[in-house]
């Protein structure tokens, strides 16, 4: 009789070992460096345009900034939503999954990012949301707990390609 029912979804502990604080911290640093590199041309042109009082260079710098920001958003939100990994997470062997072990989706990644930012700034700028995993028995951040996500350890990969299957969405 019990064969008629689908099996229960796996519990968080069965999805894989939780990612460590160090893995997650280094992944954020790598993603931040990639983001900074994407924005360097915009910063340089915007600065030169301001010094030269050139509206055209200022506009070009603003446009490059927007393009760099959108590329970063696409890479991080799209990557985490579709594959569970940004380039930094892939390099560190971290994957974000939902309670069934699957990807959280683009919408889930956007919500996760917003909840992460709120939980990390609510205590006078202290990143309590991220530090939460240091004392949590399941090694979950506050935003992982709220959204029922888990960051697990998986084999490390390279930062390229940004999306393993070549398709971002």
35 within a domain of the structure (yes/no):
yes
92-117 confidence digits (pLDDT tens): 999 999 988 899 999 999 999 899 88
Q: Reply yes or no: is the peptide bond before residue 161 cis, omega within 30 of 0.
A: yes
Does residue 90 sit within a domain? yes
Residue 8 pLDDT level (bands cut at 50, 70, 90): very low
Number of domains making up the chain: 1
Please report whether residue 115 resides in a domain: yes
CA atoms of 66 and 167, how far apart (whole Å): 22
Please report whether residue 67 resides in a domain. yes
Residue 88 located in a structural domain: yes
Please state whether the predicted TM-score (pTM) of the whole model is above 0.85. Answer: no
- CA-based nearest residue to 103, from 81, 73, 77, 75: 81
143/122: higher pLDDT? 143
Please check whether residue 159 lies inside any domain of the structure.
no
Q: Side-chain half-sphere of 119: how many Cα atoms within 13 Å?
A: 19
The verdict on residue 118 lying in a domain is yes
Range of the domain at 116: 16-153
Question: What's the whole-number average pLDDT of the chain?
Answer: 83
Token code pair at residue 149: 């996500």
Residue 163 belongs to some domain of the structure: no
């Amino acid at each position: 009789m019990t064969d008629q029912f689908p099996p229960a979804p796996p519990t968080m502990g069965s999805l894989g070992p939780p990612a460590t604080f160090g893995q997650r911290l280094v992944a954020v640093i790598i993603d931040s460096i990639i983001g900074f590199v994407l924005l360097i041309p915009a910063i340089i042109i915007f600065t030169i345009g301001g010094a030269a009082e050139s509206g055209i260079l200022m506009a070009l710098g603003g446009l490059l900034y927007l393009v760099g920001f959108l590329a970063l958003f696409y890479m991080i939100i799209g990557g985490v939503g579709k594959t569970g990994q940004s380039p930094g997470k892939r390099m560190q062997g971290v994957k974000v999954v939902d309670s069934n072990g699957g990807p959280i989706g683009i919408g889930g990644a956007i919500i996760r990012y917003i909840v992460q930012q709120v939980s990390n700034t609510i205590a006078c700028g202290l990143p309590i949301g991220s530090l939460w995993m240091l004392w949590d028995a399941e090694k979950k951040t506050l935003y992982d707990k709220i959204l029922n996500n888990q960051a697990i350890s998986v084999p490390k990969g390279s930062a390229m390609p940004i999306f393993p299957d070549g398709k971002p969405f």
